[in-house]
Amino acid sequence: MSFAIFFANRNGTDMNRRLSSVSVVIIVRGSQFALALIHPFLQALHAEFVDLETVIVAHGLSADASVQLKAVAELIPDCTVLFLTEEIHDDVARLLGIDHAISDYVLFATPRQAEIDALPSMIAAVRQGHDLVIGEGSGGVVTERGVISSTLFDAFRGVHRLLAGVPYEAQKPAFRIFSRAAAIYVAGRRDGEVLVRARSLGQGFPCTSVTVPEGEPVKVASMPVRIAVAKALRLILTGSATPLRLTSYLGFGGGIVAVLYGSYAILVYFLKRNVEPGWTTLSLLLSLMMFVFSAQFLFLSEYLVQILSTVPSSSRRQLVAREFRGPLSSQAGRLNVVDNEGEFMLGAAGFKDNAGSGR
């Protein structure tokens, strides 16, 4: 059998077989949330995946909304709800969802009917070997921003691209699926908040996009100003070493100016008459102090650049206040259990081999 026929048969078998497991990450922010389509969405996923779990990351909820969300989670099999200590940016919440996902694929969803209709195209792209499949369309999740907020957001994107050299995508990563390798890569990088919404993850992670059918967009409120500004400054300062490099250049320039001023003071001492007593000494002292301070800025900034390049990304798990696990499970029949006679069952109950109980 030739290699072409072998791979054709292999791909045909894989295309007809369900994928292993997927973790659906849903972000809930504020007191209003709509999970009415969660059950149809999960049913559509069950047709494509053997195992399925749901991770709901909730932040900025009121007490009543938290109670309602817990009631909803108790009706969803294999559901985990992460209640966060404070309201954060949705991209950080999605990274937390990746941290708590245990499946071979991670799917960001809202969910809504247009996403249910686009699932076959998404899964087909995954079966072809893509590590990141992005669902994009005219609808989707739309952030309500004012004119000033939109202008500041565009300005931040321009500054970030100028300093970091990579674009910060405007589209929210509300509907996309990662392979396990791609999800771990994104969550472990210092610029994970940028990569989580990127259109490409670089070589080794094939990416593609599919069109989501037009539907009624889901409008979400923009992030509070303090959260948006804090994230913008964090990405600008930690996403690139350029600000620290500028500090190094300022220190280097200050050192040159100090040397020039010291040389000027010496020339004045030798070439000009009637120099006030002590002026030369004071000038040389000032130039020496400027040179020392400039050298300190230069070496400290370079030292910080090297430190930041080796320090791993900070842990996000301290943001989780409580992890709530729903009581329902769709895998109970396949767990390794001990029956009422004390016999250990490997796999689903009732499937013993002819050799005995499998102890």
> Mean pLDDT for the chain?
79
Task: State yes or no: pLDDT of 293 exceeds 90.
Answer: no
Quote the pLDDT of residue 358. 40
Q: Highest mean pLDDT range out of 191-195, 256-260, 339-343?
A: 256-260
Percentage of residues of the chain with pLDDT beyond 70: 76
Q: What is the pLDDT of residues 43-94, one digit of tens each?
A: 999 889 989 999 999 988 888 888 888 888 888 888 999 999 888 888 889 9
Q: How many CA atoms lie within 13 A of 205 on its CB side?
A: 20
User: Cis peptide leading into 277, omega within 30 of 0?
Assistant: no
Q: Which of 137-146, 198-207, 293-302 has the highest mean pLDDT?
A: 198-207
Max mean pLDDT among 2-6, 34-38, 158-162, 232-236 falls in: 158-162
Both tokens assigned to 342:
């004390």
Higher pLDDT, 92 or 222: 92
At 272, the pLDDT band (50, 70, 90 cuts) reads: confident
Q: Could you read off the pLDDT of 85-127 as tens digits, one per residue?
A: 888 888 889 999 999 998 999 999 988 888 888 899 999 999 9
More confident residue, 279 or 142: 279
pLDDT band at 176 (very low <50, low <70, confident <90, very high): very high
Q: Is the pLDDT of residue 19 over 80?
A: yes
pLDDT for 205 beyond 80: yes
